[in-house]
Amino acid sequence: MKLVVNHLTYRDSPVEVREKVTFTPEQRHAMLRQMHGRQEIGEAAILQTCNRLEFYLYVKRDFDCRTFLGGLLGPAGSDAVGAWKEHCGEKVGPEAVRHLFEVAAGLDSQMIGENQILAQVKAAYTESLEAHMSKLVFHRLFHNAFRVGKAVRTHTNINCGAVSIALAAVELAREKADLSTAKALIIGAGENAELVARYLAKSGVAGLVIANRDVEKARTMARQFENAKAVGLAEVAAKLDEVDVLISSTASPEHILTRDRVERSLAGRTRPLLIVDIAVPRDIDPALGQFGCVRLFNIDDLDGQIAANRAKRNDEIPKAKVIVEEFVAQFWQWYESLDLVPVISRLTQMGLDLARSEAKRYAKDFGPGGGEKLQSFAESLVKKVLHGPISFIKDGGGEPTAEQLQAIDLVNKMFLSREQNP
């Protein structure tokens, strides 16, 4: 078997590509169910964020992951398949492990050291568990990833300064507008939107409007802030006349604001309207940027703020990578210990060594020539005792099942770890 990650990230694709391969939890669960039905796939997990789509797979060595995943994305349409085939990358073995650990540590994030990614990795693991696609290998892999994320954040200052896309969006707004006299509109009431609201409030924004499809959720969020009120999405276009800054962060699969919907509100406007769209897929129709009063930015336009914050953390990256490498080495040593043939060989040799040692110890009690017979008896007994476990481990002659891998892991813990710690 082999460990593989196939990924499409902000490093190699712009937002207009990434939004073509954005899937709902229901769609990801359907993909995991489809993978569950393939004999070649032992374990799988899907990590989806605004900056990445990654498939982590534990599959047979000759399995063509790229071709399979291209077919898996087929129902999403030709645009999704084309974007995936053109921009996806692949890492195998220790490189795949290192990639996941660096993702969990915040080292592969657009905002280096950001904290949200660790929660997103945990969510991906939970989805995999619910689909029965995380077993022995992924249990170990992802729990190690969680430990890496915690260790890096505990023992380095990798997340000093701005640690979220939400804060980068507010920093951009602060550069482009006087927030002390500005009224801001936030579309969305999720985690990112709430962070935006908190950062705007700390920046002294004059007024705040929170819009969400679920108005009650928007009201709950608005109660946390002074000078804040809540509206439904249907009221957003009418509110544009009142605001100077709009920051949008929802999970909508389509545009929240289109040109047709807001044209009447913006046609006669002369006061600037700053719009920062940090959603993927994008919430704001790019055509709104054609209005003279609108300055429209998306998540890829935050690179300036992100670069400044990344500079503050550069000194911490080498320290973080040392921690990552330690965890990669530990995990890979364990992973290689699951290799069937060496385990059988080492278990057999351990048993025979023990039999010979004990036979030699008691040989003098059996008279001349008795020692050889005692050794033969001891070796025969050990082979018979080990016959059952070894037969179970190598049953079928093909790729080991999850149960066999668990047995191999148990053998390593119960017997073979003594070789390293006598």
**pLDDT of 38-58, one tens digit each?**
989 999 999 999 899 999 999
Q: How confident is the model at residue 422 (pLDDT cuts 50, 70, 90)?
A: very low
* DSSP assignment letter at 370: H
Fold (CATH) for 2-155 = Beta Polymerase; domain 2 (3.30.460)
| Largest distance between two CA atoms of the chain | 112
Residue 7: both structure tokens together = 């990924």
- How far apart CA 276 and CA 299 sit, in angstroms, is 8
Beta strand segments in 63-201, E: 89-92, 183-187
Q: Give the full edge-to-edge strand order of the sheet including 52-59.
A: 41-49, 52-59, 2-9, 89-92
Q: Which residue in 369, 360, 354 sits closest to 416, CA to CA?
A: 354
Q: Which residues contact 2 (CB under 8 A, 6 or more apart)?
A: 58, 59, 60, 61, 63, 92, 93
Catalytic positions, written as ranges: 50
421 Rama class: left (phi>0) / alpha (psi -120 to 50) / beta: beta
Mean pLDDT of 215-240: 94
* DSSP assignment letter at 413: I
User: So what's the pLDDT on residue 398?
Assistant: 55
Residue 288: both structure tokens together = 């709104």
- For the chain, the first-to-last Cα distance in angstroms comes to 31
Rounded to two decimals, the pTM is 0.69
Mean pLDDT of 102-113: 90
Task: Return the minimum-mean-pLDDT range out of 66-80, 128-142, 368-382.
Answer: 368-382
Which comes out higher in pLDDT, residue 363 or 162? 363
- Check whether 221 has a pLDDT greater than 90: yes
Helical segments of 247-369, H only: 259-267, 303-313, 317-336, 340-362
CATH architecture of 165-306: 3-Layer(aba) Sandwich (3.40)
Evaluate whether 227 touches 245 at the Cβ level (below 8 Å): no
**pLDDT of 300-339, one tens digit each?**
998 777 776 677 777 889 999 999 999 999 999 888 877 6
Residue 164: both structure tokens together = 């979220």
User: So what's the pLDDT on residue 142?
Assistant: 97
- How far apart CA 105 and CA 117 sit, in angstroms, is 8
Evaluate whether 372 touches 364 at the Cβ level (below 8 Å): no
* Partners of 58 in the β-ladder: 3, 43
The per-residue pLDDT of the chain, averaged, comes to 88
User: So what's the pLDDT on residue 162?
Assistant: 52
User: So what's the pLDDT on residue 394?
Assistant: 65
- Check whether 417 has a pLDDT greater than 90: no
User: So what's the pLDDT on residue 420?
Assistant: 46
User: So what's the pLDDT on residue 339?
Assistant: 67
- How far apart CA 137 and CA 100 sit, in angstroms, is 14
Q: Is-same-fold flag (2-155; 165-306)?
A: no
Does 14 sit behind a cis peptide bond, omega within 30 degrees of 0 on the bond before it?
A: no
Would you list the domain boundaries of the chain? 2-155, 165-306
